[in-house]
Amino acid sequence: MAILGTKKFWKPAVGASPSQKENQILKNSGYLNLQLTSVNYMSKGNFWQNTFGGRDKIALATNLKYQTGVETIEATSVQDVREVKVNKNYNLGLNRNIAVKIPLNADAISIDVKMTAVKDDLLEAKFDMLNKPEYQSALQLAPTVVGQVLTVTSLVKKLFSDSNPNTQLEASYAGIISSQNENNPVSNGKLTKGLLILISTDDGNNFSDVTESDFELRGDSLFYDNREVENTYAIFNISFEVLKGDDENSNWFQKYNNSLNNLDKIHLVTETSEIDKIYNDSIKMWIEGNALIDADSTYVNKEKLKIKALSLKTIREKYAELNNTISNGDLLKSTELLSGLTGSTSFDIIKEALPSTSSLIESNIDIESTESVNPIKLNFLNNDSKFLDSLNIDASKYLKDLDESNIPFHLSKKK
């Protein structure tokens, strides 16, 4: 929620449904993007500045706190430092990415904007140093990036604590990520796609009686009822993506890629037993890759399953190409493959990620939606070639969805 002295408003993105309910972002549904699209600063000079004229050096910082379970990841960046004349209205523009493809497995994502007039020359130099592109990286939750943003965060927070708190302007919003849609998510603090407008009511219009549809963003400037807003404000664009695609820099990608490359050894052997051993070794590497992707917190569980399935399809297709067939021995692995695919994932997520495969499982074994697939029960699927067919259907659908979203799948049998 917004703190005392600020109010929050919401507008749908251009062309989107005007309903808050239809724009609400649900837990585990995909990935969040957060962009700071516009900032306006209404400067207020002190008595001497207003009497004789003067300037302020102002610093703007954003803070994003990602909270899931007992884990909290915080990213704070200095977004702008500039000198302004006092008692004037300034639109800073900016258009900065704050977070990119953050998995929606968090419980909440809180957003803060802080602005302060910097009076101390030493502090001014420190703010200037941190106002550089290399220190403004958007949060992506990749381990190397998180390490950097945590370091910058501690520096920025100390700078603001060292500044005169009486000169600070602050707005905040805590976006709760829930599992169910509701009619008015914004007023209840629930994360919702669209423009989030945070306005300081300490200056200018107090916006006590507002029709949110009368807000309009023209370029970088906010208008209300066709008049430019001169209050201090910050506008965030909250957007959402269902898919992320694979990650060439991840350890699980390398394991899957090693599995594919291992199949090239088939060129060097002729005995069926040797070919089968090479294929078995590749499947073992695929299962090891599954364990690694399960531990990757930058992906939602639904897409992890899709990546596993498409990786397996890619491996099997390369094996068939090199061996000129899919041997009967491959079909006997349906139980092992399914166990390696699903792991400890609950069946409700499997149903959402792999509808064709989950339908086959459900028709063969008794399973509750909150349960994971019991490997012992998978014996009922042994020798069932329909499992591999259904898995191919699901994997092909994921590949099609990636293509339609212009997201490349880097793990290829051509590697």
C-alpha angle with apex 370: 242 to 334, nearest 5 degrees?
A: 80
Together in a domain, 272 and 231: no
Model pLDDT for residues 45-83, shown as the tens digit of each residue: 554 455 445 677 788 888 888 887 777 888 888 888 888
pLDDT at 12: 92
Outline where DSSP puts E strands in 123-260.
169-176, 194-200, 215-218, 221-224, 227-228, 233-241
Domain count, the chain: 2
Q: 120 and 108 in contact (C-beta within 8 Å)?
A: no
pLDDT at 146: 56
Together in a domain, 144 and 269: no
Together in a domain, 347 and 273: yes
User: Cα separations (Å) of 165 from 25, 26, 116?
Assistant: 34, 36, 8
299-328 residues labelled b (16+ CB within 10 A) or e (exposed): bbbbbbbbbbbbbbbbbbbbbeebbeeeee
150/77 Cα distance (integer angstroms): 10
41/20 Cα distance (integer angstroms): 28
Residues of the chain with pLDDT under 70: 1-4, 44-54, 141-151, 163-169, 325-335, 378-385, 413-415
pTM of the predicted model, to two decimals? 0.84
Together in a domain, 170 and 223: yes
Q: 296 and 250 in contact (C-beta within 8 Å)?
A: yes
Together in a domain, 208 and 295: no
Together in a domain, 36 and 54: yes
Query: Looking at the domain assignment, is residue 298 inside a domain?
Result: yes
pLDDT at 370: 78
Together in a domain, 188 and 212: yes
**CB neighbours of 365 closer than 8 A, spacing ≥ 6?**
373, 374, 377, 378, 380, 381
Together in a domain, 327 and 399: yes
Phi first, then psi, for residue 286 (nearest 5°) are -60, -45
Together in a domain, 224 and 75: yes
Query: Looking at the domain assignment, is residue 72 inside a domain?
Result: yes
Final residue of a structural domain among 241, 266, 281: 241
Residues of the domain holding 137 = 6-241
pLDDT at 262: 95
Final residue of a structural domain among 206, 221, 241: 241
The residue among 192, 191, 195 whose CA lies nearest residue 237 is 195
Final residue of a structural domain among 217, 241, 265: 241
Together in a domain, 196 and 50: yes
